[in-house]
Amino acid sequence: MKFITLSLAVSAALLGLQTAPAFAGSYKGPTGLQLYSLRADFNKDVPSTLKFAHDLGFKVVELAGTYKLTPVEFKKQLDENGLVPIAGHFPFEKLRDDPEGVAADAKALGLKYAGCAWIPHKGAWDEAQCRAAAAVFNKAGEVFAKYGIKVYYHCHGYEFVPFKDGTLFDLLMTETNPKYVSFEMDILWVIFPGQDPVKLFEKYGKRWELVHLKDLKKGVQTGALTGHTDVTNDVALGSGQMDYPAILKAAQKAGVKYYFIEDESPSSREQLPQSLQFLKQVKW
């Protein structure tokens, strides 16, 4: 493992990724890393994992936990590695039951956004659960606003249940207050349930303030509303099913503020440099 890590660091340096990535193609960031991509490494060694993210050239990050450290302790580690936390995922239940506590933690971490990526539910998501979740986000958003933080929801695929002339995701958009609630599009969790990210960017524009850049292995069947697929189906950007030139063009036109690469694959360490290289050269 030490040899692999060293080789990747050298490869990153050769690719010019040791500093903030410079994008010569059509795509423009800012591009960060969802640290969940390196969760297995964080569970072993937080400082060296943050250094690895820094050495790849990332300057901004999105959080999904602090790996047994307090928010203050984790923020200190981020600072020491030159990483600026922009957004963070928290459990839906905490947003619902203790928005003040979440806001305080988010403030300690220096976040601009605090949200969640999963709404617990049994069976297919339904209208009642959708409306209840919207109420939670609206309430949390009002609380967070006092701290200068915005709540956001990261779509996960199960929300696209047909509803009236659209889907329950459309209802969630309609029922949440744009003043307090923004959204993060996970490209994989739009493609996997059979939706079109370009059309969703065009439809909801600036409601999409954040994006997860992720690619789905070629040959994997789409159309399921489960919100689940094997993590090995995450592949390096540009090597899977997504039409990223069209998606990125639509995202930039919609006014997305931050892009985060998320790679849940066990091979994320090897794939992250490939994804960065793809973004450096992609054109449309």
Q: Which domains does the chain have, with CATH numbers?
A: 26-281 (3.20.20.150)
Q: Is the distance from CB of 27 to CB of 252 less than 8 angstroms?
A: yes
Q: Is the distance from CB of 115 to CB of 77 less than 8 angstroms?
A: no
Write the DSSP symbol of residue 252.
H
pLDDT block averages, 10 residues each, the chain of length 284: 37 41 81 98 97 97 97 98 98 98 98 98 94 98 97 98 97 98 98 98 98 98 97 98 98 98 98 97 94
Question: What was the pLDDT predicted at 175?
Answer: 98
Any residues with CB less than 8 A from the CB of 77 and at least 6 apart, and which? 46, 47, 50, 69
3-class DSSP state of 114: strand
Any residues with CB less than 8 A from the CB of 93 and at least 6 apart, and which? 120
3-class DSSP state of 16: coil
Query: Cα dihedral angle (169, 115, 113, 47), rounded to 10 degrees?
Result: -130
Question: What was the pLDDT predicted at 22?
Answer: 66
- What pTM does this model have? 0.91
Question: What was the pLDDT predicted at 23?
Answer: 72
Question: What was the pLDDT predicted at 21?
Answer: 60
d(CA 16, CA 149): 34
